[in-house]
Chain A
């Protein structure tokens, strides 16, 4: 059983390291800032989580494993917020993305099913 845990954590750590390096390589290869952000999110999500899962198996059921959970929570709750702020700031600064296809002008289909009932019910809309 201990051997299985040992090998599992080894595999997880090796895979996580692979995705970290791949994401960093992507940040070098991609042509503009928006596409680089996709490469960076490979580091932030898959690379980091696999590595941390591997470390958690090594730590066992201790406070250290709990702290690793906090590290994951930090990355998962604040990572997208930072990416979103970065993308919005770059758009605001008129940095034109390299696009193969621009569908920003497309008509967005109306909400499926739920829309009429919401108007009749007159529920409060927190977004207003």
Chain B
């Protein structure tokens, strides 16, 4: 049954990668990248069970954390063109309390 899960995850990855290639905006690609990260965690988990080595889960956890930071870095870069941008420098401070 782990074959079923692994196959389904690979199929879902295929769809999401098509979306990442088609775009059309950068946010579609960032969203697809985020979903690829989630699917990669699940793929690592189910493949770990498939091969009887659940230690892959540790890699999955690390991957999830890096995926979150990576998504934020991409979004911040495309919003401000600068990874070190500090929102408190803004005059109007949008959405900032």
Contact = CB atoms under 8 A, between A and B. Distances in A.
A95 B34 contact: no
Interface residues of B, number: 46
Is chain B's interface secondary structure helix, strand, loop, or mixed overall?
Answer: helix
Interface in B1-19: 1-2, 4-5, 7-9, 11-16, 18-19
B4 to A, nearest CB: 6
Interface of A: 9-10, 13-14, 16-18, 20-21, 23-25, 27-28, 33, 36-37, 40, 43-44, 47-48, 51-52, 54-55, 58-59, 64, 67-68, 70-71, 74-75, 78-79, 81-83, 85-86, 88-90, 92-93, 95, 127-128
Interface in B43-70: 45-46, 49, 54, 57-58, 60-61, 64-65, 68
B54 A86 contact: no
B97 A27 contact: no
B11 to A, nearest CB: 5
Interface of B: 1-2, 4-5, 7-9, 11-16, 18-19, 25, 27-28, 30-32, 34-35, 38-39, 41-42, 45-46, 49, 54, 57-58, 60-61, 64-65, 68, 71-72, 75, 78-79, 94-95, 97
B27 A64 contact: no
B43 to A, nearest CB: 10
A85 B75 contact: yes
Nearest to A64: B54
A82 B34 contact: yes
Given A36-B28, A71-B60, A44 B38 contact: yes
Chain A contact residues, majority secondary structure: helix
Contacts of A75: 38, 41, 64
